[in-house]
Amino acid sequence: MRFLILAHAGDATAALVTARLLQRHHPEDTRLVLLEEIVSAPRWAHTLNGAGADTILTLRDGTEIRSDQIGIVFNRLQYVDMPHFALSESADREYAVMEMFALLVSWLKALPCKIVNRLSSQNLAGPIHSSLAWQRFAGKAELPTARIRLTSSLRRYSASDLIPYPVGPSTIGNVPAWLSEPLGQQRAWAFVAGEQVLGDVSPQLKSGCLRLAALSGFEILLINFASASTNWDWKFNGADPCPAVTHGPMIDAIVTLLEAQS
């Protein structure tokens, strides 16, 4: 198959991308596989022999997925759930989840084809970046960023020009907090899919969004902006590498990326 889409049940983005690919290609070229089908597959055979790795995965409906027959993977999986261990003791359930995660990560790494977004051993949906790391990436990508402070003690490290957002209960004012410069109410977004950038922001910001995607290692990325409090400039306000998008042009941009890279 040319396009393998991996997703959780109810993922509208995955369903829309699959539907668009089915419209444009032979039905046998596209297969949407849900996590539930993967974790309950009656046959897994993942072999490593030094020279390489090979996997045969047979699903309950008889579909056989062979590593060397996939053109590209659009991976929307973000976590592992093992429903058939739901009644097991929590330690056994957690063990089963970790084991299946470890297998999925190895399977995906061994695939000779491209995976969008790229895989990480940290997380199925790619590397995990903290909010602070995203802010730093954005700054290095020359996107305008807000001034941010994180502290374990608002009493010791308050800042009069920043708005505090306490994290957790207070003990004699010594509360941990996230502080940010004030932002306005307006919001905007940009959506990166490969070299395409959609969204109602300036070309300069779009260039910065492409740089942010490259720096953070994601080909698909939704980037949020908030207006500054004092003017109409946009400030980076977070990014999502696995966004729930349903807007037609965004789906088309993902499909174009998958077609170009498969």
Partner 1 sequence: MILFCGIASEPPVAFAIEAAARRGLDHLVFNQRHAEFYDIVLDHKSGHVTGYLWIQEKEWPLDNFSGIYNRLMEITSLPENRQRGRVLPDVARVAKSAFLHEVLSDWMELAECRVVNRAISTSSNVSKPYQAQVISQFFLTPPTLITNEPDEAHDFIRTHKRVIYKSISSVRSIVRELSAADEPNLRKIRALPTQFQAFISGTNVRVHVVGQKVFATEITSPAVDYRYATRDGFDVEMQAVELPPDIQEKCVQLSEQLQLPFCGIDLKRTEQEAYYCFEVNPSPAYSYYQQYTGQPISDALVDYLAGTMELEHASSGG
Say whether residue 63 binds partner 1 (CB under 8 A). Answer: no
- Binding segment for partner 1 (CB under 8 A), chosen from 1-9, 131-139, 191-199, 221-229, is 131-139
**20: left (phi > 0), else alpha (psi -120 to 50), else beta?**
alpha
Say whether residue 49 binds partner 1 (CB under 8 A). Answer: yes
Among 167, 195, 202, 233, binds partner 1 (CB under 8 A): 167
Handedness of CA 210, 214, 218, 219 (dihedral sign): positive
Alpha helices, H only, 61-193: 90-110, 131-140
Say whether residue 165 binds partner 1 (CB under 8 A). Answer: no
Nearer to partner 1, 64 or 195 (CB): 64
Q: At what angle do helices 248-261 and 12-24 cross, to 10 degrees?
A: 60
**Number of residues this chain uses to bind partner 1 (CB under 8 A):** 60
Among 23, 86, 156, 185, binds partner 1 (CB under 8 A): 156
Cis before 117? omega within 30: yes
Residue 141 phi, psi dihedral angles, 5° rounding: -80, 5
Say whether residue 100 binds partner 1 (CB under 8 A). Answer: yes
Which strands, in side-by-side order, build the sheet including 183-193? 196-198, 183-193, 220-228, 234-240
Chain contacts with partner 1 (rule: CB under 8 A): 41-51, 53, 84-85, 94-96, 98-103, 105-106, 109-110, 120-122, 127-128, 130, 132-133, 135-141, 145, 147-153, 156-157, 167-171, 174-176
